[in-house]
Structure 1
């Protein structure tokens, strides 16, 4: 009754505003499926963050707004009967469903709108950005759902902390100490009104906050902002990514159970014109933490529940890496939400987006400052080896630092000093010269060779790969630097074409044209099935010529049909083949996932029917040609074979899909610790599906063929199918169907076809792709961001992509 009452009010207010559901989605950031579900009553217990978003998007008057809020939580103004705890507005400490004295509440203020700024636990009275999660719920609330989400958020926090702690150690950020990343307040034109940032009531006097600080204080700086929204600006290589990493780790160290979990998202991979922010965040969370695909409260995935309830604090890194035409709609979409967040960008790209629309609402802005010569003097000498026993205090950087301290005759700092003003270039210089004693940094003082900042930067970027690939790794891996540059250049160009920083192993084949991917899939699948069919035919008949002919015909037909299914499923729709977020549990009853066996039965039956009709029709055509029948007899053969095979494969595929769906169980949240682990998990899942698919599908098709022939006997004329033929059909279908499904419709299968076979065969990648990517990570060329790799520096990625295009 709550949902239906709320849905009727929402529908009336939307119609009075003259908005369609799609238009309300664009204004509010709430997906149209959620809006439709709320209006029809299919989605119960609307979350207060969602309700407030809808109210803001509808620009409701105070009376209408109160009506909508009351409809969401009728009968209990302090707690909201039956409504799960909500995150409250950014900066608020009071959960929506929390009554007086609720553990998740802030100041203990009753009501559904929360406290605009502050809470009992807020530091310095500023409030906790993001508010309380309302985990415990107020009187009459649903405590179980809140407890489950609070537990999931706790597990997510542990996984995120462990991941980025490993990444920080791998990148040697603390060796010997972090470079001093500092910032000051950004220009006023890039910052919202301070009254909005401080969440002050109308008419209250406001002034700017002192946000200056350094890397160790980024979490404190963020917590001092009542709105919980911060924009970090900095030029290329200024340390934005290192700052986000440090922010996440420091924030998690002092995080309270009710606070949201900071999670880093590479916003450059978001297309705001096709995906709402919340749906995209949910997808990314599911990708990096497959366990969150499990069903959460309210019949939605755990990832969606965590995002919708405000238990995830988005740390959006790389706004400048978005395509030019997407930054404005992205900023508008961010302004349509009240989510607390941290956003990083280069100043020029953010300023251009602001000029087209507006600043990020309620967001304070800071800008990273350049390193000084004193910073270099403190840092670089401590990164070199003591190579001179006679004078241990003498370092390779002495001459360079002495020169940098000399005043420039032209006034401004010289090219070398300007280039080394960013942590990126200092890190490259350290790798090229400090970590490699045979190279002398004094070469950088050659003003003829390095007469401009660009010349210095290009030299450091060019020298990075030869340096890191100069010596073999301790584990014995060795790669030729030139070949590594070629392969990495291909990967960099591949990411530039996809307009994303995420190097996902399941999308490496997307460097090929879509038509090429479908053709290669059809070719490899056809060859694999032809080999299996030929071996089975040889075992049954003992004739090599007959086996070769049978394998060639079946392989050609199966390759064409599976290639067509792949083309219709992915090429036409533009969808990706993504890794599985589940595993198969053969023993025991698996917990419920977000999928059910029913839809799998329908999808499998329809897909099998399409395959069987096509396969049977082609078999009928082949028989008509070989037997030299007339037109009428040929059409009869085509019709009969199409019907028989259509029924057989529809039943076999439907039942097999249903069984696999029943055996699926979600992964745990901490499963995706690295791209390799995601690949291994997906491989195990796919191979287990093969083990289940082959006997089940083979037996179902073999027995089903005999059953269908018996049932249709006389209705379609005289049908003949001897037991040996039925057994052979079952064996070939079981093996061939499993192979075709794996190679054309699974992420691991596509990885094998395109990345392990085709791309190495054409010279774009090495044969040992995973080993190469892991090695590039160990050498510091790539970094791991959950389930994907990324280039360690966006500047290095663009440099390699340009070099690859020139080559």
Structure 2
């Protein structure tokens, strides 16, 4: 099953089974944060059978599925402090449940709760959106407008594993708990204790839910695990690891301040994982330094040291291992920028299509305008040069390309750039520039979809965008001609051009966008298992759309423009738009319209503009962003959650963001 294979890869990447899983144990939480035993076990008031007793719940990773299945309510809450192993538990819960799942049982799906706003979407609607994002094949419609994801959620065939109740914004946790209580959905919920207890005290317990809390690791747990992660070496005539003397010190002298601090830090799997990465996986490092109270006088100082050292260690070249392709001095800055970017979005999910969303509107307009204007100007220069060469000979083409053609190209570049920048600015201000990746591909649309309705809906959007572009380019071009010539008639000509261009470009964009909508299909899309898969799928989809949109737009502009000019000939004065003019406008419009569509109306276009050009150009990210993100995942700095990345842990995210902000403000 695709869900199981995806999370098994994630478990392997986190080295959970290397050499064996850390012991994540749990016991029942305090009674006042859990519902009555009778509600958890669905004991009716007139029943003579007592509830089995939730207070006795206790176990380890291997027991969580059996315990959950023993709860008739199907609702369970797992509490644990930061780094205590909640995410590891949810992974093991999902994989173990899938092993014994029968065909009619719901499929467990892990989703991070941090992006849920209960005031904007119900739990079922939000869960449906998450499924469609991480599994684009579920965005296909089953009947009418209902997607497969919505149908699965409504049919109870999805078991939500809701990770990170504490990640919900502070002011939304109480409404979120009320919304969870308003449903009867079986679920497993994880949270830090303080945030969950505060919500319970203000609202109520989670209805019919048993609540367990994760235990801290002990020195015995560390002694059984850490030496087996490090290579044996000769010390004093016998084989030992760098951890053996440290663990002996923790066992024999627990009262010493350095030992007490280190035991407190290594009580969670997160910090043990960081310590392993820094000292076990990298030769030449001695963890005995962690006991030095002059360097690390508090547990917080040890944690800061581990966080600061983890990223450089993860990217350090290892003998016989993978060599880093990145400038290690720049890696913390790039990761810090990504962490701060997520803070501005208020999200833990690093989505490739959102990397430009935290830039200001003026910067976005400038970048889109420069790139689009340059593309259209270059197309005009080449097309006009080619036509001059065909009609008038090579000398005329050379004279145009390096004479008058340069002036015309500058005018077209400026006009198209300003028009695209203004159009993108309007879309950004209205909120429509926050584009989602396409969940469709070009093909024969099947099912019960009304093709005419799809065409009309898309036609309206294209008509508005094309008309707006035509008005802007006509007015801007008129102003440029007026400034160059100083003649007021140029302004009137610009207004006439604006009207004609709005009609021609509006029709061209409307027809092209409508036909593309009719040919889009979300059926039979292969399973998407990573952010890179979704990126590749969107690139192919957008390029296929461009191959349709560009020529179709160019043909409508060429022949439709001639028809519009014929209709308004004499009404607006003598107008010139012959066969050659139609061909030239159609060719330039094909490139300009296609380029504008990609840059302004697709998530992949925004990714190219900002993640592949602007952000690397300004030093915020490396030039090969996809490779960098994938490499960070393989090195254990990032993790995959469906089609998005997340930092290995929220505390690492927060640390990198804080360090980046301090450096940026220094």
TM-score (norm 2): 0.92
| Alignment equivalent of 1:691, drawn from 534, 547, 553 | 547
Q: CA deviation at 1:467?
A: 1.2
Conserved? CA contact 1:649–1:701, under 8 Å: yes
* Partner in structure 1 of residue 374 of structure 2: 527
| CA deviation string 1:4-24 (max 9, x = no partner) | xxxxxxxxxxxxxxxxxxxxx
Match of 1:238 in 2: 84
Structural mapping, 1:10-25, within 5 Å: none
- Contact 2:463–2:507 (CA<8 Å) still a contact in 1? yes
Query: Structure 1 residue 270: deviation in Å?
Result: 1.7
Q: CA deviation at 1:575?
A: 5.5
Q: 1:700-728 CA distances to partner (integer Å, 9 max, x unpaired)?
A: 11111112122333444432212211111
Structure 1 residues 619, 375: CA separation in 2 closer, same or farther (over 3 Å shift)? same
Q: 1:139-538 residue pairs with structure 2 within 5 A? A: 158-204=1-47, 205-206=50-51, 208-209=53-54, 210-388=56-234, 393-409=239-255, 414-471=260-317, 474=321, 476-538=323-385
Counterpart Cα distance in 2 of 1:575 and 1:271: 21
Deviation at 1:461, TM superposition (A): 1.2
Q: Distance in 2 between matches of 1:689 and 1:331?
A: 43
Whether 1:792 and 2:622 are equivalent positions in the alignment is: no
CA distance in 1 between partners of 2:156 and 2:344 (Å):
34
Segment of structure 1 superposing worse, 473-482 or 784-793: 473-482
Structure 1 pair 196–599 and aligned structure 2 pair: CA distance change class (3 A): same
Deviations 1:452-497 (A, max 9, x none): 2112211111111121111169565422322101111111111122
Measure how far apart 1:594 and its partner are.
Answer: 9.6
Report the CA distance between 1:411 and its aligned residue.
10
**Pairs within 5 Å for 1:662-701:** 662-666=518-522, 668=524, 670-701=526-557
CA distance 1:741–1:382, change in 2 (3 Å): same
Over 3 Å counting, the alpha-carbon distance change for 1:280 and 1:519 in structure 2 is: farther
Contact 2:144 2:448 in 1 (8 A): no
Q: Is 1:766 the counterpart of 2:652 in the alignment?
A: no
1:730 to partner: Cα distance: 0.3
Q: How many Å separate the matches in 2 of 1:758 and 1:523? A: 11
Q: 1:247 to 1:593 in 2, by over 3 A?
A: farther
Paired with 2:447 and 2:143, the residues of 1 have a C-alpha distance of: 14
**Distance in 1 of aligned mates of 2:77 and 2:419:** 51
* CA root-mean-square deviation: 2.4
Question: Conserved in 2, the CA contact under 8 Å of 1:640 and 1:716?
Answer: yes
**Shift of the alpha carbon at 1:628?**
6.2
Maintained 8 Å contact 2:258/2:297: no
Q: CA separation in 2, counterparts of 1:499 and 1:757?
A: 24
SS at match of 2:39: helix
Q: 1:801 to 1:628 in 2, by over 3 A?
A: closer
Partner of 2:577: 721
Alpha-carbon contact 1:608-1:653 (below 8 Å) kept? yes
> How far apart are 1:647 and its partner, in Å?
2.0
Residue in structure 2 matching 1:552, options 410, 429, 433 = 410
* Cα-to-partner distance string for 1:100-145 (whole Å, 9 max, x where unaligned): xxxxxxxxxxxxxxxxxxxxxxxxxxxxxxxxxxxxxxxxxxxxxx
Partner residue, 2:639: 783
What displacement does 1:203 show?
4.9
- The yes-or-no answer on 1:568 pairing with 2:568 is no
Q: CA separation in 1, counterparts of 2:296 and 2:162?
A: 36
Q: 1:402 to 1:788 in 2, by over 3 A?
A: same
Give the secondary structure class of the aligned counterpart of 1:414. helix
Match of 2:471 in 1: 613
Tell me, in whole angstroms, the C-alpha distance in 2 between the residues paired with 1:745 and 1:453: 50
Q: 1:593·1:664 contact (CA, 8 Å) conserved in 2?
A: no
Q: Give the conservation status (yes or no) of the 8 Å contact 2:442–2:545.
A: yes
Q: Distance in 1 between matches of 2:655 and 2:163?
A: 20
Asked whether the equivalents of residues 159 and 669 of structure 1 are also in contact (C-alpha less than 8 Å), the reply is no
Query: Whole-Å Cα distance in 1 between the matches of residues 278 and 534 of structure 2?
Result: 33
Change (3 A) 1:550 1:630: closer
Q: 2:387: which partner in 1?
A: 540
Mapped pair 1:749 → 2:595: no
Secondary structure in 2 matching 1:486: helix
Residue 523 of structure 1, CA deviation: 2.5
**Distance of aligned partners of 1:689 and 1:392 in 2 relative to their CA distance in 1, 3 Å threshold:** farther
TM-score, scaled relative to structure 1: 0.76
Give the structure, 1 or 2, with the largest relative contact order (CA under 8 Å, sep 6 or more).
2
The offset of 1:657, in angstroms, is 0.8
Q: Deviations over 1:650-700 (max 9, x none)?
A: 221111112211221216465321111111111111111111122111111
Query: 1:190, 1:354 within 8 Å by CA — same for their partners in 2?
Result: yes
SS of the residue 2:357 aligns to: helix
Cα distance between partner residues in 2 of 1:421 and 1:274: 38
* Segment of structure 1 superposing worse, 727-736 or 337-346: 337-346
* Structure 1 residues 369 and 447, CA gap change in structure 2 (3 angstroms): same
CA 1:554 to 1:178, structure 2 compared with 1: closer, same or farther past 3 Å? Answer: same
Instruction: Select between 617-626 and 230-239 the one with higher mean Cα deviation.
Output: 617-626
Match of 1:704 among 552, 560, 570: 560
Q: Give the Cα separation in 2 of the matches to 1:481 and 1:250.
A: 38
C-alpha change, 1:645 and 1:298, in structure 2 (3 Å) is closer
The alignment partner of 1:296 has SS state of strand
Offset, 1:334 = 1.5
Contact 1:755 1:769 in 2 (8 A): yes
**1:638 to partner: Cα distance:** 4.5
Query: How far, CA to CA, are the matches of 1:749 and 1:296 in structure 2?
Result: 29
How far has the Cα of 1:261 moved from its partner?
1.0
How far 1:622 sits from its partner (Å)? 5.1
C-alpha contact (below 8 Å) 1:660/1:692 kept by paired residues: yes
CA apart distance, 1:241: 0.6
Determine the structure 2 residue equivalent to 1:659.
515
Describe the shift of the 1:593–1:342 C-alpha distance in structure 2 as closer, same or farther (beyond 3 A): farther
CA contact (8 A) 1:532 1:735 kept: yes
Deviates more, 1:745-754 or 1:615-624: 615-624
Query: Is the partner of 1:509 in helix, strand or coil?
Result: coil
Change (3 A) 1:625 1:803: closer
Would the aligned equivalents of 1:530 and 1:552 in 2 still touch at CA under 8 Å? yes
Deviation at 1:214, TM superposition (A): 0.5
Q: CA deviation at 1:759?
A: 1.0
Distance 1:426 1:593, change over 3 A: farther
CA shift at 1:365, angstroms?
0.8
Change (3 A) 1:471 1:258: same
